[in-house]
A and B are shown apart, each in its own frame.
Chain A
Amino acid sequence: MQYELRYQVIEPKRQTYQNVIDRLGDQPASRYLEATLDVEPRENFHYRPTWIKDRELYDERYSALRLTDPYSYTDPRQFYYTPYVTNRAALHDEFGKTLSYLDQRDLLTRLPGGWQAVLTSVVLPLRHYESGAQMTSVTGARFAYGTSLEQCCTFAAFDRIGNAQMLSRVGLAMGGGAGDVLDVAKQEWLAGEHMQPLRRLVEEIMVVDDWAEGLLAVDVLDSLIYPLIYSGLDESALLGGAGAYSLLAQHLTGWFADQRRWLDALVAAWAADSGNGEANRHGLAHIADTWSRRAREAVAGLATTIDGHLPEVGSATALALLADEQNARWATITGGAA
């Protein structure tokens, strides 16, 4: 008696969803593409927004920066719900471990005086800055044209809540579980003289109509604040007996590197777009022009305060370097268009 083993292949009627087939043909595609391509509606809107008569609910005219085909841009990280959540859960897990290590050894309360002051007067108030940045990202999430752009903004908005939460947890740990330090930090944000230019700028960015301009204006600020406050203080922290700060700041530096990946790719896509490249480069140059000088002035207050508490850091010099670097970067992107 002999058995013959055979297998039978049942070909699926279709390999993927119609939205993917329309663009890439009938072949297996990644979950990211399935959940992204042409998902946002483009036609047959039943209602116009009552608050702006000449626009559709989803409309590319909500921004001066446009892509001929919004799906020519895709998120380099290929984030959709599951990978995003898994990735950020891991990030906050790591952060939690760092924090409990510091907590068990009382390393935050034993920070040198200058560093304590920098944390309460400069770093912790930034959780309110994160909150403003979250609002601008949410605007992008609502008004960006194309799911590929919109979902990056959505995730960025949630990231900001996460960043604010990390800072809050540091504040709680510093206050031994109570919110006193956070209260002081909030007062600094609301009334501290060094914080007011930044607060004013963030609030002005929050009411910018063009979602992309708002997003990039925050990014202009981020590009100064993150390298200056988080990665920039790292070495002085390690040498100055404030290793605890370095351990915490690494997580925010890590987040910023991740943020750069999708945003840099998006800016590059805008600048290189086949149909709107020229107009986009002008738009980008205009944005850089409008916000970079103001961003530098706003962050200068923070740098001066840091230098006041920790003269060895040289934040003001570092800020000048960062601002020049940023201007050069924008000039390369826009190719001198103005």
Chain B
Amino acid sequence: MTGTLRQVGIDIQESEENRALVDAIKADNPELTIRHLPGLVKLQAAGQITINRRTVEEKLGHDWETGEFQLAIVSYAGNFSEWDDDQIIVKWEH
């Protein structure tokens, strides 16, 4: 493996609820680039993207289960290397 990190990405449907989710991902992943397309928010970062339940709940103001992430995503590039009750990590595993 060379030192260059491959990009991973998540596409999220743009909506009132998901805005807090995007804010949370932005807060936890400082290197994130965000592109707004009609009805869609494309998030990209080198290496990995982490989503923490706690941050999302803080931004949303109510409880949130990581399973609800399914309802927000349109597409993704990378593997879900971790998806438990507290955290989701997207990165390339091979």
Contacts and interface: CB of A to CB of B under 8 A. Distances in A.
B16 A9 contact: no
A32 interface: yes
Contacts of B38: 7, 9
B60 A78 contact: yes
Contact of B61 (A7, A9, A28, A77): A77
A87 B60 CA distance: 14
A75 B16 contact: no
B15 to A, nearest CB: 10
Contact of A75 (B20, B60, B61): B61
A31 B60 CA distance: 11
**Chain B CB within 10 A, most for which of A28, A75, A77:** A28
Band of interface residues on B:
under 10
A12 to B, nearest CB: 11
B16 A31 contact: yes
Interface in A19-37: 28, 30-32
A336 interface: no
Contacts of B60: 78
Interface string B15-56: 010011000000000000000011000000000000000000
A32 B61 contact: yes
A76 B16 contact: no
B19 A76 contact: no
B62 interface: yes
A28 B62 contact: no
A87 B62 CA distance: 10
A83 B60 CA distance: 11
Nearest to B14: A28
Contacts of A79: 61
B19 A30 contact: yes
**Chain A CB within 10 A, most for which of B38, B60, B61, B62:** B61
Contacts, number: 21
Interface in A41-77: 75-77
A97 B78 CA distance: 44
B48 to A, nearest CB: 26
A78 B20 CA distance: 11
Contacts of A32: 61
A79 B62 CA distance: 10
A78 B37 CA distance: 27
A30 B16 contact: yes
A28 B37 CA distance: 14
Interface in A236-256: none
Contacts of B20: 30
A259 B51 CA distance: 28
Contacts of A30: 16, 19-20
A264 to B, nearest CB: 14
Contacts of A78: 60-62
A32 B37 CA distance: 24
A93 to B, nearest CB: 17
A286 to B, nearest CB: 31
Interface string A75-98: 111110001000100000000000
Contacts of B61: 32, 75-79, 83
A335 to B, nearest CB: 26
Contacts of A77: 61-62
A9 B61 CA distance: 31
Nearest to B62: A77
Interface of A: 7, 9, 28, 30-32, 75-79, 83, 87
Given A28-B19, A30-B16, A32-B61, 11 more contacts: A7-B38, A9-B37, A30-B19, A30-B20, A75-B61, A76-B61, A78-B60, A78-B61, A83-B61, A83-B62, A87-B62
Lowest 3 A-B CB distances belong to which pairs?
A: A78-B61, A77-B61, A76-B61
18 contacts: A7-B37, A7-B38, A9-B37, A9-B38, A28-B19, A30-B16, A30-B19, A30-B20, A31-B16, A32-B61, A76-B61, A77-B61, A77-B62, A78-B60, A78-B61, A79-B61, A83-B62, A87-B62
